[in-house]
Structure 1
Amino acid sequence: MVEPTEPDLFERVEPGARKAHKRLILNVALRCFNEAGIAATTIDTIRERANSSIGSIYHHFGNKDGLVAALFFAALDDQMAQAQPRIEGAGSAQEAVHALVHTFMAWMTEQPELARFMVQARASVADGPYKDALAQRNKQRYGSLLQWLETGVRQGSIRALPREAYASLLIGAAENYGRAWLSGRVQTPPKDMATVFADAAWRAVGLES
């Protein structure tokens, strides 16, 4: 059995003693997926390393796709929990943009194993049986920020762009940098670069400094 990888996060999104075994399976699956890749990892490998049963894994997650999605959504939910209060409490669209980028890059720095997993799992979740659930989470993730942006467009402080363009402009460069850091191509942690990317995100959508 492997040791938990990031127990604080799983405690936050799946709290309580009754969910301890579910958290253990998530931790083991995360380690297995990152070590061998999603395609090469079997439910039986996870079962053996978690000292669990096939029935327990299927009870909690349905199948391997469900387990991959559960891990991905745990990461997204934790990101949203960190970002939403700061975005909702912002005093301006610019502050809201900075809150999104800063919390995302801090989260990636603090949760590198889940961030690494998200890089390899994103396409399979986005194109798989849980794509509608992902779309709903993304709507929630950017909902408060889009309200700020829509207000800014009306007030003349935000560029009027296609709605689907904002997420890429706001977080795309930060995600690219995070992937470079996770792969070892750059050494400075994302959280130490957050202001650089937050300023760039604001310049991409804002009409005032």
Structure 2
Amino acid sequence: MSPKQQRGEATADLLLDTALAVYARGGERGFTVNAVTAASGVSFGSLYHHFGSFDGLAAALYLRCVDQLCDPVVAAVTRSRTARTGIRALVRAYLDFTRDHRDVALFLHGSAYSSYLAAHAKEVMAAKDAKFAPIGDWLRPRVASGEVAALPPHLIEILVMGPVAETAHRWLSSTYEVDLDEAARVLPDRIWRALRSD
């Protein structure tokens, strides 16, 4: 890689790191192009050169955050032998990630339906689907064998991720008193009971 390419990557990384810090500090209202360029010291022109727009920067940050979340969650599930241990591992991995990477989780939860991702919605959805595809591949034979209830994939996702995402969202909001340790003890088996075949 040439020195120019290295500088370009370093600038893009600086913008992404700064954007995450700006969001963590000021939330969606404080997440503006002016705030990111001021905090990073990178010019508007350079931001637009690397990401095309502020929405492009937000989409790139969202995808980087998805990667950071997905890797430990997918690993936790796919190394599990049974459906029960896999579902339990998924719940715990997601809640552990939320606790250990609060800023990343905050951006993911706060930005999922934001206007600044709308222009890149198809790209974001395709990337998320690809990253989480190994979980679907792991789950399909367990549904076919009767270990997991034969439900449409989107309903399985809702049954698993609904309670987990809501727990994380409430913990991140600081409005509710949510104990992640308690949730990690209670939710895995409760969610598994909703999924197992009767």
**One fold, TM greater than 0.5?**
yes
Q: Give the counterpart letter for 2:104 in structure 1.
A: L
Going from structure 1 to structure 2, the CA distance change for 1:93 and 1:125 (only over 3 Å counts) comes to farther
Contact map agreement 1:25 1:46 (CA 8 A) in 2: yes
Distance, in Å, in 2 between the alignment partners of 1:156 and 1:85 is 23
- Give identity over the alignment, percent: 24
The structure 1 residue matched to 2:84, chosen from 85, 94, 97, is 94
Going from structure 1 to structure 2, the CA distance change for 1:198 and 1:141 (only over 3 Å counts) comes to farther
Does structure 1 residue 153 correspond to structure 2 residue 148?
no
Q: Which residue of 1 aligns with 2:184?
A: 194
1:129-178 per-residue CA deviation (whole Å, 9 max, x = no partner) reads: 22122222332343222233321222111111122112111111011111
Contact map agreement 1:28 1:46 (CA 8 A) in 2: yes
| TM-score, normalised relative to structure 1 | 0.80
Does structure 1 residue 164 correspond to structure 2 residue 181?
no
Contact map agreement 1:125 1:134 (CA 8 A) in 2: no
Distance, in Å, in 2 between the alignment partners of 1:37 and 1:90 is 36
1:6-36 per-residue CA deviation (whole Å, 9 max, x = no partner) reads: xxxxxxxxxx886333222122212323443
Aligned residues: 192
Q: Which residue of 1 aligns with 2:3?
A: none
**CA displacement at 1:108 relative to structure 2:** 0.5
Q: Which residue of 2 aligns with 1:103?
A: 93
Contact map agreement 1:30 1:114 (CA 8 A) in 2: yes
The structure 1 residue matched to 2:126, chosen from 116, 120, 136, is 136
Q: Which residue of 2 aligns with 1:50?
A: 40
1:29-56 per-residue CA deviation (whole Å, 9 max, x = no partner) reads: 1232344343554312211111111122
Bigger Cα displacement from structure 2, 38-47 vs 73-82: 38-47
Distance, in Å, in 2 between the alignment partners of 1:192 and 1:133 is 36
Q: Which residue of 2 aligns with 1:180?
A: 170
Going from structure 1 to structure 2, the CA distance change for 1:187 and 1:202 (only over 3 Å counts) comes to closer
Distance, in Å, in 2 between the alignment partners of 1:194 and 1:136 is 29
Bigger Cα displacement from structure 2, 162-171 vs 129-138: 129-138
Secondary structure of the residue aligned to 1:52 is coil
Distance, in Å, in 2 between the alignment partners of 1:28 and 1:191 is 30
Structure 2: where are the runs of 5+ without partners? Answer: 1-5
Distance, in Å, in 2 between the alignment partners of 1:179 and 1:90 is 26
**CA displacement at 1:78 relative to structure 2:** 0.9
Does structure 1 residue 81 correspond to structure 2 residue 97?
no
Contact map agreement 2:111 2:117 (CA 8 A) in 1: no
Provide the alpha-carbon RMSD of the alignment: 2.4
Q: Which of the two has greater helix per residue?
A: 2
Distance, in Å, in 2 between the alignment partners of 1:43 and 1:126 is 11
